[in-house]
Structure 1
Amino acid sequence: MSGFAAAWETEWLLCVRSTVVRLATAILLLAVPAASVGAVALARADTAATITTAKFAPYATGPLSATQVLVAAQILSVAIVMAGGFAMAWTFGQEVATGLAGARAGMATSSGSVALAKVLVHVMWLASCVVATVGSTVAVTALICAVTGQPFVDDTWSRAGLALTAGLLSAGLSIPFGWVATVTRSPLGTIGVLIGVVVVAQLVTALGVGPWFPYAATSLWTQMGGAEAAADVGLPNLALAAAVAPAGAIAVTHAWGRLDDI
């Protein structure tokens, strides 16, 4: 247990000092609330008819507060996967590519424990970003409603819960990219796989099987594809998406555990 505690402390320090993590955190905390407010404002502006009307049409009606938080949920469902994927590519891929992971095999802490610590630290970081981002979006929305005199409807809180749940599910979806980084031994290659997964999510959604693809189901659940598409996402689909996290953690821990035998 002391070995894992040492690995946890080291990985947490590396995470806090990571440029990738700092940049991703800043983008999530600032860009998501700003984009949510901006998208709704654009949809309801007089100029909206000349700028991708179909894309912004769902945001043009309904209570302002609930709509802005819903948009945040949609953005967050994708942004967290991207941020987590980049972080996993860095924390796992860099050490394997440079040989540092193999050098750890001679330490008292097993490589498997190091990998588990990496996963848990990064999931905690992503979860903190989700909570902070949703909280800041709700706060900004409440301020806008107070200034403009528009009601802060009760449905806003259910949308906030949706954003939190979708964000946490998306955090779990980033874990398998740690395994990808380990087996490919390439941070850049992992980012390529991450982008490929996003493209595949678009394709399977277009084919109508998006609810059964975890990397599409979470976004569809937030009504990114419309209310009808969200209705197709049920508990089995969300359970499948949730199962990706433990499966990814087991896979990457096992892959790193094998480094002790190299």
Structure 2
Amino acid sequence: MTAGTAFRAALAVETLKLRRSAVARIATTLLVLLVPLGSIGMVALARSPRAVGPTAAKLTDYATGDLATTHLLVCAQVLSVAALAAGGFFVAWSFGRELENGTAGALFGLAVPQGTIALAKCLVALAWIASCVVLAVAVTTTASAVVTGTAGEPFAAWAGVRDAVAAGLLGGGLALPFAWVATVTRSRLGTVGALVGMVALTQIVVLLGGGTWFPYAAPSLWAGMGGADAAAAVGPPHLMLAAATAPLGTAAVVRAWRRLTNV
């Protein structure tokens, strides 16, 4: 079997697993439906007379400004975190399941190399995350156009669409290192625990003022989750560092799968 044939076979198998995965189905539904609903809903609540007290204080950044732009701003902020969470759960399932239940040994008996299988898993995960992000932003954009009454007219917030997609892709790419965690721990639960721990660590790093150079904080800060000043402090070098996490994570997990022996 040639390298190209092996790679195509691995992609086909992993794509089939994705299509039959309950984890992927649930995560897709949550991203594509709940992210737009939350984006539109939070802005509506922020501009409602019912937003008083602590609720009004938390949503004050969404209470003014162009409505469509604000919808997409919230979408970018939510996606920067939601794509990471969904991607983390998926790679925990994709990489950890077979190692945890002992069926990976059958995979490694195939003619397809272990590293090729791992690479196919990573690429399928990235393609799925990217598709979910694009769909979530598209649904949010459509819902925003309906709410603002601009359906059929030139949409005034296309820059927000671009930023929301970029924030979601960056957040989703940050999930790839957890495929390596799933490989070395051989545990889905351990991988989810590491994901939760990383989220907590990110909060601490941001509070200490180091969020701009921390890959797991930069996309959310750039999307405005920490306020306008924090967003302005995030530049191309910080985003490039966050973007580099996905290929580095992929390289690490491919190397780890090549070295797997006692499965």
**Amino acid corresponding to residue 166 of structure 1 in structure 2:** A
**Equivalent residue runs for 1:171-190 within 5 Å:** 171-190=172-191
* 1:55 and 2:58 aligned: yes
Partner of 2:244: 243
* 1:111 and 2:114 aligned: yes
Between the aligned partners of 2:52 and 2:169, the Cα distance in structure 1 is 35
| The 10-residue stretch of structure 1 (67-76 or 99-108) with the greater mean CA deviation from structure 2 | 99-108
Partner of 2:257: 256
1:38 pairs with one of 37, 41, 65: 41
Partner of 1:19: 22
Partner of 1:82: 85
Q: Deviations over 1:75-95 (max 9, x none)?
A: 000000000000000000011
The unaligned stretches of length 5 or more in structure 2 are none
Shift of 1:193: 0.4
Give the match's secondary structure for 2:50.
helix
Partner of 1:129: 132
Partner of 2:73: 70
Shift of 1:261: 7.4
Q: Deviations over 1:98-126 (max 9, x none)?
A: 12223322210011100000000010011
Partner of 1:101: 104
| The 10-residue stretch of structure 1 (95-104 or 138-147) with the greater mean CA deviation from structure 2 | 95-104
Shift of 1:260: 4.9
Partner of 2:166: 165
Shift of 1:3: 1.1
Between the aligned partners of 1:124 and 1:48, the Cα distance in structure 2 is 38
Q: Deviations over 1:16-74 (max 9, x none)?
A: 11000000000011100000111001101101123422210000000111001110000
Shift of 1:128: 0.4
**Amino acid corresponding to residue 84 of structure 1 in structure 2:** G
**Amino acid corresponding to residue 39 of structure 2 in structure 1:** S
Partner of 1:201: 202
Partner of 2:218: 217
**Amino acid corresponding to residue 196 of structure 2 in structure 1:** I
Q: Deviations over 1:186-244 (max 9, x none)?
A: 00010000011111111111111101111110000000000100011111100100110
Question: TM-score, with normalisation over the residues of structure 2?
Answer: 0.95
Between the aligned partners of 2:105 and 2:168, the Cα distance in structure 1 is 33
Between the aligned partners of 2:262 and 2:32, the Cα distance in structure 1 is 41
Partner of 2:144: 141
Q: CA RMSD in A?
A: 1.6
Q: Give % identity.
A: 52
The unaligned stretches of length 5 or more in structure 1 are none
Between the aligned partners of 1:75 and 1:221, the Cα distance in structure 2 is 12
Report if aligned partners of 1:65, 1:152 keep a CA contact under 8 Å in 2.
Answer: no
**Amino acid corresponding to residue 44 of structure 2 in structure 1:** A
Tell me which protein shows more helix as a share of its residues: 1
**Amino acid corresponding to residue 59 of structure 2 in structure 1:** F
